[in-house]
Chain A
Amino acid sequence: MKLLYCLSGHPTLPCNVLKFKSTTIMLDCGLDTTSVLNFLPLPLVHSPRLSKLPSWVSKDGSLNLEKELKECAGRVFVDSQPEFCLPERELLDLSTVDVILVSNYHCMMALPYITEHTGFTGTVYATEPTLTIGRLLMEELVNFMERVPKAQSATCWKNKEIQRMLPGPLKDAVDVWAWKRSYSMPEVNSALSKVQLVGYSQKVELFGAVQVSPLSSGYSLGSSNWIIQSHHEKVSYVSGSSLLTTHPQPMDQSSLKNSDVLILTGLTQMPTANPDGMLGEFCSNLAMTIRAGGNVLVPCYPSGVIYDLLECLYQFIESANLGTTPFYFISPVANSSLEFSQIFAEWLCHNKQSKVYLPEPPFPHAELIQTNKLKHYSSIHGDFSIEFRQPCVVFTGHPSLRFGDVVHFMELWGKSSLNTIIFTEPDFSYLDALAPYQPLAMKCVYCPIDTRLNFHQVSKLLKEVQPVHVVCPEQYTQPPLTQSHRSDLMLELQPPPMPYRRCSVLSLPFRRRYERVYILPELANSLVPSEIKPGVSLATVSAVLHSKDNKHTLQSVPKPPPAPLSKKRKRVLEEPPVLLAPKPLLSGAVPLEAFLATLQKHGITEVKVEETADGHILHLQAEDTLIQLEEDGTHIVCDNNEPLRTTLRDLGEQRESSS
């Protein structure tokens, strides 16, 4: 069975398990962090505003979760360490997962939850940049959480009875009991120790049954799509791919051709926002704010789009006369991120690759750092506070605005309308992210930059690679809810794609038709093919089928040991079966006229011949027997008259072999 278990409902943070040819393969391990939007921000320094927020009390006053729920500008937030929505763990026994294939660093954030607490004993495959940057992201996350520990863990609100009475998004949150707090650094280390590095197009054998191989997907450093194939079946897993020319190596499309099934996830979350336009919007709003004397805050991840933003700004700051404005990049892993990006030469686009061999670094942010235009700090504490100069541009995390240094800048700059916050990461709704900071005077600009495939590109891609079937999240099969008239923002395919949602189990629509079997040379030598029609020869094989590690081999039948010259007579009776000389191969159709003549010769005269669509039916009235002569089969129907059947068979065979 080819089954696909869908453990995540988030189309861009997928987690699916594919059972294919006796292997169990987990495809990505995304962590849905949008759940943190329901929590209060974790300030780095004490925030009087946040601590003074009123507790939420239900309208009739019957419900009072004073400790757990706070109210801000009409929205209710959980006052606790933020929690994440994990992939579904009940749908199947995750300890049976053999391997996990990771497609990019954003899609591995749930790895510690899976590898550490489910009995997982397999291997994780990922490319080197994916592992390195994934580790940075995890480190940052853990750091953000652990540096402002919150003792309290709110659970009362999760009670079904209570949750039902809560307002707004909290009421509709699903699987709240499965939400978990962040993992710890030891867990991260342990999880990442199970990662085995692979390079693009490297073929990895899984138990001899299937071969998996990563392909460049063009989305981020080291991001990959995966090919999972046996000798006769091919499944492609496309997750987070991009056709735009940004920093990573371009997408490898041709290797996706001839797939039986293509699992399609990780399309752009912003199908209507063209990255180029957004980049322009980002730059002009930034320049506009700085010119007016305000500060710009850019909540972002420490790796990914930020490289392109910095590159774009590098060209832009001169032309916009922003040469003197300081740019700050604050993240616990800022330094590593900027440095690592410069050394992953083989994972970069061609243009940047060639720069690695020149004295100039591939990314221009090195020059920004050299010329002191870009400065990076691990946190707002320490050096940063000494050098901090306004107006400035600050890049910092976390994009959810719930934890990390960004919380501090929100508190600091939120009150002035001169300042601007520019959202570039597409993962969070900016209105939800800003909710606990209301009322806010700061200007907000939303220019999400998502370079992943849009519907137009994906339909072109699918036209090109022509998979037999496409499996995708259900969100891709209808236009977005808010833009129901945009029939161009959905996948329209023939045959229609198979949609999945969280907890779906799909049976993939292809059958194993063939299996490759090897034949040993000495056995092959012994075959005597006979030509049955020009160019086609057949031979009967008698052999022993040997199966090991999903490899099948035909071996010669072991010669029976020469009969031991035993004196026990009893053994003589058990003679080895005599190997009869193979009968001549039968092929072709039974010629009717000749067959009737033969029957007559053998005394069967009362034959009624009836013509059918596929051949003839002969009714042997005296024998009460039917003979169906069809193109590819002959059936003799007679009730319990084995001798007659054998006779008729032999007669038929005679005719056939002589024809």
Chain B
Amino acid sequence: MDAECVSLLPGVCEVLAASGRSLPDDTSLEKLLDWFTGLTEAGGSLLDACPCLLDFISTVVHNTASDPGVLSFTLRLTGLTAATEDGFQRLQERSVLNQVFHRQRWQEAGLWEDPCFRIGWIQGLRSMLRHPKALGFFVQSDFIDPLLQLQTDASLFVASAANQMLAHILLFFQPASSPGCNGADEKEEDGDGRTRTTSAEYTSAVAAISEYLKASLVPQKYTKLRQSLQILKLLALLLARAGPPLWDKLLQTVADSLEELVTAGCGQLTLPLMDVILAACSRSGADERVLDQHVLDQRVPDQRVPDQRLSRLLSSMLNVDEPADLVHAAAAFLRRGHHDIVHTARAVRILLLPLHIVTGQSLLGTNTTADERQSSMVEQLKCKSSCISVICVCLTNTPQITLTPSDSLPCPPQLIVIAVLSLLRICSGSSSSSSSSSSSSSSSPTGCSEVCRNVIGSGKVQKCALEALTALSSSPGAKDAISEVFTVLMQYLDNPDSDATVLHKSYQALVKWMSVSPDLSVVTDPLRRGLEEVVKKRVCDMRWEVRDSTVEFLGHLAGVPVTGTPALLGVRCTTPLLKEALQDTESYVRASAISALAKTLTHSWQQGAALSQEETEIVSRLLEILSQDTEGFPRRAVVRYFISWFSLRSSSSSSSSSSSSASLLTQCVRSVLSQGSADLDWEVKVHTLELAELLLDEAFSGHRGYGKDGAASDRTCTPPTHAEGAESQLAGVVELGVISALLSGLVDCDRPVGLRACRLLVTLRDAVCPPSPDATAAAVATVSCELPGWGWGQEVRKTLGMKGSDIAAEESIGGGGGVNEGGDGASVHVSVCEALTSLGLDERLKVLTRSSDHVHNSPLSLLQDILTASAAHTHPDTQPGQEVIVDCY
């Protein structure tokens, strides 16, 4: 620990013990605690490092008039200190622990009323409970009962902390024989050197807690529902992580209560109950695949809760009366990904039933077991709000349903896709029967009209169904539905009432489904024409969100591989639309259009095709945007456009790329570098540096010293031949403006820009500037770059310590009112190598790597703040709040 911090700590403790009121802000205590926690985790003894804490704790806890916040802090600090056996011992010696956690004393002092205090009590104990001695203390002090009471505390945070704490006790001290704990010995040491023992204390804690669980699980009254809820949460937590003995014990204790609860059919408890049962099942022998026989044998057979019993519980859950609960239970079951065929089949049927009712598609086949539930489900679906929520749950699960083994499915997966499609049709107001002409399903049924009415025009269902449809593209047999999917999606894209999000999702679905099969011959010509029309219309939409999604879609479209058949929309159609979108009033749309154009042109770049007139026009328009656009997004996109052009071009064989294209690109790169590095937006600058990096990579990738990780071990043995190359390469790079961009980035006030530039400069230096002067170095050293007499140039010159005439000239200019003679100041030329070596890059890199708030976040600063605030508090003449104003920039 910092010696300075240690020296400040006693003063801080004094301030805290005196009163908590004078703290700089209410997060100070938390920050202080974080720091202490960090120290503990680092493995040091807190009391050794800060002996004053012991006095602090005993002072504070003896004063019941202390601020509850400070007391709560003290409780947690005490727990932290007692987390090691040594710390525990020392606190015991001072008989502080009893005082600190003496609940009754606090209750009498009226502090227990404060939830922040109660949570401090719980968290303090929790931090402490990391060794058997602490457990002994905990059990002997009879803390289990109050903790169980806190489980249903009025404050949700307290209740949840109590629950976590209970789980911690049972799980942390459980005998290490669970399969996750590498071995089945009664006693073993884990990584932290803690000894886990089945002590008498632990046994009594388990007994007390499980007795409580058993007694209070089934709610006696409606008001006790919350207690049951909390217990179920706790059980789910425990069962998921408990080792076999504890698992068995717990389940044995609560199995009867669980059964009772299941039959009680209390709607609000369905989901937590399902969580518990599923957590139990996931560890049960029936589903347990990791459990080896050895462990299974260890269980005393007649003490185990039989798998059949769990399975029965699960069956009852998948058979509750309330349709909405049923659907939620089935969804929860399916999400857990169990492999139990019988229950999976049942859950699938439950989840398909609402779709079956709404769409009229015979998803459940001719099997009539669903009929008993059908009428109650129909009733449920007639209510609009519950209809929409149930349908959405079912839709969300359809993709997973299609992936379940076919023996659990009541219908082929394609039919589920068809059902989602017909639901989409119903939502948009056109029934499935009216569209049967284009439908491949011969039956073309219609669903229950009273239910259909609830989903007509529902944006929520539409979005959900489109998401499901997108995911269904990877379901088996998806190919067969492709043409119908396209028809429905086209309807959605064309529908004037489609919400912007719905359109966006339709586009996403379309892109996803296009990649289902590279052969797009199924897409008929009318569909293609329709798509073209609709896209043309949507790029003129009034809502910019829609224009944006459309333009984005055009970009994605270019990325979809197509074989054999012509692409859905040819470049001849999309490029003019995208060009038009470059003029859009909304900056997001312009940005999307730029990236979409880049995607559209990817192919021709890769092939190195000659530039068309159109592309040349686009390029000049993009440069215009970079220099003139008032918004950052399009400018960022422009730089990215050139990045991808440059990287794709260079990845192709350079021979085939036409010279006109190459020269235009070089020209562009030069202006992008100069404009991008002078941009006001830091992201544009970072992107520009990325482009600079590509140029450096290209120029120096052959050089041995050029390593991205800065590993420059073998740069001393760089062969001279390379050095000669280096000279010309460096000159080329300078000529393109890369060095200027890097240097201007280096002195940029935005840290990410400076950091990136600095890293690149270090890499460059290591590659081209040999540490020992030799012939090659001399050649390289001749390469110079220009430093302008203003802005970043001035800054760099200052760093280089260029004194004398230059600075004098600048000063005189500065004195003359800041106007440069001739406008661009007196620029000078410096040797690149010289600059690189004398800029102190390594130092700079170190500074830049640290986060910008590292000073303010240091513990030292925190301690100082506390002291200063207290000083300000005691001297009321100093203006309060001044400090705060300075902080808020």
Tell me the minimal C-beta distance from B569 to chain A in angstroms: 15
CB-CB under 8 A for A280 and B541, given A485-B433, A486-B429, A487-B453? yes
Q: A321, B496: Cβ atoms under 8 Å?
A: no
Instruction: Please tell me if B497 contacts chain A, counting CB pairs below 8 Å.
Output: yes
Q: B456, A486: Cβ atoms under 8 Å?
A: yes
Could you say which of A277, A312, A320, A485 contacts B431, with CB atoms under 8 Å apart? A485
Instruction: Please tell me if B540 contacts chain A, counting CB pairs below 8 Å.
Output: yes
For A285, the closest partner residue in chain B by CB is B537
Q: B540, A291: Cβ atoms under 8 Å?
A: yes
Chain B residues in 8 Å Cβ range of A319: 542, 544, 584-586
Instruction: Please tell me if A3 contacts chain B, counting CB pairs below 8 Å.
Output: no
Q: B542, A280: Cβ atoms under 8 Å?
A: yes
Contact residues of B between 268 and 318, Cβ < 8 Å to A = none
Instruction: Please tell me if A575 contacts chain B, counting CB pairs below 8 Å.
Output: no
Instruction: Please tell me if A274 contacts chain B, counting CB pairs below 8 Å.
Output: yes
Tell me the minimal C-beta distance from A445 to chain B in angstroms: 9
What does the 1/0 interface line of B517-545 toward A look like (CB < 8 Å)? 00000000000000000001110111110
Chain B residues in 8 Å Cβ range of A283: 540-542
CB-CB under 8 A for A488 and B456, given A274-B496, A277-B497, A319-B586? yes
CB-CB under 8 A for A485 and B541, given A274-B496, A277-B497, A319-B586? no
Q: B497, A274: Cβ atoms under 8 Å?
A: yes
Q: B542, A316: Cβ atoms under 8 Å?
A: yes
Q: A485, B446: Cβ atoms under 8 Å?
A: yes
CB-CB under 8 A for A488 and B496, given A272-B429, A284-B540? no
Instruction: Please tell me if B141 contacts chain A, counting CB pairs below 8 Å.
Output: no
Tell me the minimal C-beta distance from B533 to chain A in angstroms: 9
Tell me the minimal C-beta distance from A464 to chain B in angstroms: 18
Tell me the minimal C-beta distance from B456 to chain A in angstroms: 6
What does the 1/0 interface line of A294-321 toward B look like (CB < 8 Å)? 0000000000000000001000101111
Instruction: Please tell me if B449 contacts chain A, counting CB pairs below 8 Å.
Output: yes
Instruction: Please tell me if B434 contacts chain A, counting CB pairs below 8 Å.
Output: yes
Chain B residues in 8 Å Cβ range of A272: 429
Chain A residues in 8 Å Cβ range of B497: 273-274, 276-277
Chain A residues in 8 Å Cβ range of B540: 283-288, 291, 320
Contact residues of B between 820 and 843, Cβ < 8 Å to A = none
Could you say which of B431, B452, B541, B580 contacts A284, with CB atoms under 8 Å apart? B541
Q: B453, A284: Cβ atoms under 8 Å?
A: no
CB-CB under 8 A for A488 and B453, given A318-B585, A447-B496? yes
Q: B496, A281: Cβ atoms under 8 Å?
A: yes
Chain B residues in 8 Å Cβ range of A284: 537-538, 540-542
Chain A residues in 8 Å Cβ range of B456: 486, 488
What does the 1/0 interface line of B582-620 toward A look like (CB < 8 Å)? 011110000000000000000000000000000000000
Instruction: Please tell me if A278 contacts chain B, counting CB pairs below 8 Å.
Output: yes
A424 to B584, CA, bound (A): 26
For A319, the closest partner residue in chain B by CB is B585
**Which of A274, A281, A312 has the most B CB atoms < 10 Å from its CB?**
A281
Could you say which of B434, B449, B538, B585 contacts A487, with CB atoms under 8 Å apart? B449
Interface residues on B, range: 20 to 34
CB-CB under 8 A for A485 and B434, given A288-B537, A291-B540? yes
Chain B residues in 8 Å Cβ range of A321: 580, 583, 585
Tell me the minimal C-beta distance from B802 to chain A in angstroms: 51
What does the 1/0 interface line of A20-54 toward B look like (CB < 8 Å)? 00000000000000000000000000000000000
Q: A273, B585: Cβ atoms under 8 Å?
A: no
Chain A residues in 8 Å Cβ range of B585: 318-319, 321
Q: A280, B586: Cβ atoms under 8 Å?
A: no
Interface residues on A, range: 20 to 34
Contact residues of A between 483 and 499, Cβ < 8 Å to B = 483, 485-488
A287 to B547, CA, bound (A): 13
Q: B583, A280: Cβ atoms under 8 Å?
A: no
Q: B450, A487: Cβ atoms under 8 Å?
A: yes
A323 to B498, CA, bound (A): 27
Tell me the minimal C-beta distance from A228 to chain B in angstroms: 34
Tell me the minimal C-beta distance from B430 to chain A in angstroms: 8
A85 to B452, CA, bound (A): 39
Chain B residues in 8 Å Cβ range of A316: 542
A272 to B431, CA, bound (A): 13
Chain B residues in 8 Å Cβ range of A486: 429, 431, 456
A170 to B343, CA, bound (A): 65
Tell me the minimal C-beta distance from B830 to chain A in angstroms: 48
A566 to B452, CA, bound (A): 91
Chain B residues in 8 Å Cβ range of A320: 540
Tell me the minimal C-beta distance from B668 to chain A in angstroms: 25
What does the 1/0 interface line of A252-295 toward B look like (CB < 8 Å)? 00000000000000000000111011111101111110010000
Tell me the minimal C-beta distance from B549 to chain A in angstroms: 14
CB-CB under 8 A for A278 and B496, given A284-B541, A288-B540, A487-B450? yes
**Which of A277, A318, A486 has the most B CB atoms < 10 Å from its CB?**
A486
Chain A residues in 8 Å Cβ range of B537: 281, 284-285, 288
Tell me the minimal C-beta distance from A96 to chain B in angstroms: 45
Tell me the minimal C-beta distance from B328 to chain A in angstroms: 27
What does the 1/0 interface line of B438-458 toward A look like (CB < 8 Å)? 000000001001101100100
A146 to B431, CA, bound (A): 47
A318 to B583, CA, bound (A): 11
Contact residues of A between 468 and 517, Cβ < 8 Å to B = 483, 485-488
What does the 1/0 interface line of A314-334 toward B look like (CB < 8 Å)? 001011110000000000000
A564 to B434, CA, bound (A): 93
A485 to B432, CA, bound (A): 10
Q: B453, A273: Cβ atoms under 8 Å?
A: no
Tell me the minimal C-beta distance from A424 to chain B in angstroms: 12
A48 to B141, CA, bound (A): 109
A320 to B589, CA, bound (A): 12
Tell me the minimal C-beta distance from B451 to chain A in angstroms: 10
What does the 1/0 interface line of A412-445 toward B look like (CB < 8 Å)? 0000000000000000000000000000000000
Chain A residues in 8 Å Cβ range of B434: 483, 485
**Which of B433, B450, B496 has the most A CB atoms < 10 Å from its CB?**
B496
What does the 1/0 interface line of B407-444 toward A look like (CB < 8 Å)? 00000000000000000000001010110000000000
Chain B residues in 8 Å Cβ range of A488: 453, 456
What does the 1/0 interface line of B605-648 toward A look like (CB < 8 Å)? 00000000000000000000000000000000000000000000
Chain B residues in 8 Å Cβ range of A279: 542
For B453, the closest partner residue in chain A by CB is A488
Tell me the minimal C-beta distance from A149 to chain B in angstroms: 41
A268 to B20, CA, bound (A): 68
Contact residues of A between 319 and 352, Cβ < 8 Å to B = 319-321
Chain B residues in 8 Å Cβ range of A318: 585
Tell me the minimal C-beta distance from A484 to chain B in angstroms: 9
A308 to B498, CA, bound (A): 21
Tell me the minimal C-beta distance from B531 to chain A in angstroms: 14
For A277, the closest partner residue in chain B by CB is B496
For A482, the closest partner residue in chain B by CB is B434
A274 to B540, CA, bound (A): 19
A291 to B581, CA, bound (A): 12
A318 to B584, CA, bound (A): 10
Chain B residues in 8 Å Cβ range of A287: 540
Chain A residues in 8 Å Cβ range of B446: 485
A273 to B429, CA, bound (A): 11
Chain A residues in 8 Å Cβ range of B586: 319
Chain A residues in 8 Å Cβ range of B498: 277
**Which of A316, A318, A321, A447 has the most B CB atoms < 10 Å from its CB?**
A321
Q: List 10 A-B contacts (CB under 8 A).
A: A274-B496, A276-B497, A278-B496, A280-B543, A281-B537, A283-B541, A284-B541, A288-B540, A321-B580, A487-B449
The 4 A-B residue pairs with the shortest CB-CB distance, nearest first, are A277-B496, A287-B540, A284-B540, A277-B497
Q: A287-B540, A485-B433 are in contact. List 19 more A-B contacts (CB 8 A).
A: A274-B496, A276-B497, A280-B543, A283-B540, A283-B541, A283-B542, A284-B540, A285-B540, A288-B540, A319-B544, A319-B585, A321-B580, A321-B583, A321-B585, A485-B446, A486-B429, A486-B431, A488-B453, A488-B456
